[in-house]
Structure 1
C-alpha cells in the first residue's frame, strides 16, 4: 500500500502516483470528507495523457490516510458563534496543517515543485500551499472553492444538509443511499448523472473506506481558518479559478471572490456545473488545467 509519512507533519498519507516520473507533477487535493477516488480515473488519465505525472492523495482523517482517532471537533453551532465573536474554538488540526501535509507528500517523494489542483476544501488547502509554500507551486488551480469570507452567499440548505447529515446506519445499503443523496443534492443540473453508474461509484468508495468521524474535524478546520482574502493578496503563484455557475454548495460568487483576491488570477465559469466532476465535463476541465499549467 503506497503511503508516506510526511517529514514536516509526521502524518501517514496514502497516495497514488500515475504517469512518467520524469514529467512535471500535478498534485490533486480533494475536498471535505472526500477520498482521492472522487478525482475520477478518467480525469487522472486525461492529465497523464497530456504528459503529466499525476499524484492524488487522501487527506488526513479520510480514506486510507492516518485518522485522528479520539480527537474531538467542537460543536458546529458553538464554533461558528465563537468565531463570529472573536473567540475561536480549539480544533484538532487546521487547514494550514493539511496544506503542510500536501507539501510533505512532495517532500517524501523528493519532488521540488508541482502544479497543485484543489477542489472545494482541496481548493482552500491549495490556496494555503500557495500562501505558505509558494515557491513549491508551479501553478495553482482552485476548483469550486472560496476565500472563506463570511459575507459571501452561503450554500443552499438542501446541499449542506445532505453533505453533513448524520448516517442513519452503517449497513451498506444505508451508506449507498446516503452517498446517492449527497450526489443528487450537490451535483450538476446541466449534466445529470447516470443513477446506475453513480451507484457503482458510491459503492466502490464505500468498500474502499468509510470514516464518518473525520468529516466534522475537517469541517472544524474549514471554519477555524476563516477568511483568506488578506493572505491571498500576497500570493504570486499563477492561478486559475474554475467554478460552476450552478454550484449549490459553494456558490459562484465564492469563485469570483477567489479570483478577485489573487493577483493575476484567471476565472473560468461553466454553465450547468454544480459541485462535482461530471463525466461530460472532464475534457473541458482537464483541458483548462493543462493549458494553465503549460502557460504557468
Structure 2
C-alpha cells in the first residue's frame, strides 16, 4: 500500500511538472454555458507516464491539491533545501492555475456582458508571465467596455431598459435583416428580441426590413463599439416612438392621499415593489 501511495505521488508530481513547464492554457467561449471554458494541454510525446495530456478545471484543481500536499511534505521533511526544485515547481503550478481561474472569471464576464470581440473567444497562454499579461488585458477590456456601454445608455434612453447582453442580441438581429433582408433568417434572436421590446411596450414591433439609414459599422476594434451601440439605440428609439400614444384621462373623483404627497425641500422615500417596472 505504501508503494502504491509513493507511486501515485510520483505520477502526480510528473503531471504537475509537465503542466507547469510545457502546459498551454486555452480559454474558449462555451456557447452552451455562455461562459469561458478553461483547458490545459501539453505535448503528449513529452509525457513519460503517457497519461491524458488535457485537463479541465476540475482536474486542474485536483492537481493543485496534490501540489499543495507535495510542497508541504517536501518542506516538512527537509530543511530549507530544495535540490530538485520540487517545491518551487509546485508553487509555480499553483500560481498558474490561480491566474487561469481569474482569467476565466473575467472572460466569462466579458462574454456575458455582450462584449463584441469576445463572443468567439479563443486565447492561449503559457507560463505565469503570459497569464498575467492576458489577465491584465482582459481586465482592461472589461473596464473600457463598461464605460462605453454606460456612455451609450446615457445618450440613448431606450438602451437603459436592456442589459449589454440583450443589446448584443439586438445587434445580431438588426445586422442579419440588413444583410439578408429576411427577418426569418435568425429565428432564435428574432424571438428573443420580440419579447424584449414587448417587455418595454406590449405594442412594440420589430422591423422586418431595415428601417434605418447607412450600413452597420463593422466591429473590428474598440473604436467601433460606440457607433454600433448608438445605432442600436437609434433603432430602438424609432421602434418605441412610432407607437401611437394613448392618452388616459385622470378621473376627477380621485381623492389625494396626503401621506403620499411629496413636498419641495423635504426628504421622501419611494419604494417600488414591482420589478417589472424597474429597468436594469
Report the TM range for the smaller structure's normalisation.
Answer: under 0.3
TM-score with structure 1 setting the length: 0.22
* Higher RCO, 1 vs 2 (CA within 8 Å, ≥6 residues apart): 1
Considering fraction of residues, name the structure with more helix.
2
Q: Over alpha carbons, which structure has the higher Rg?
A: 2
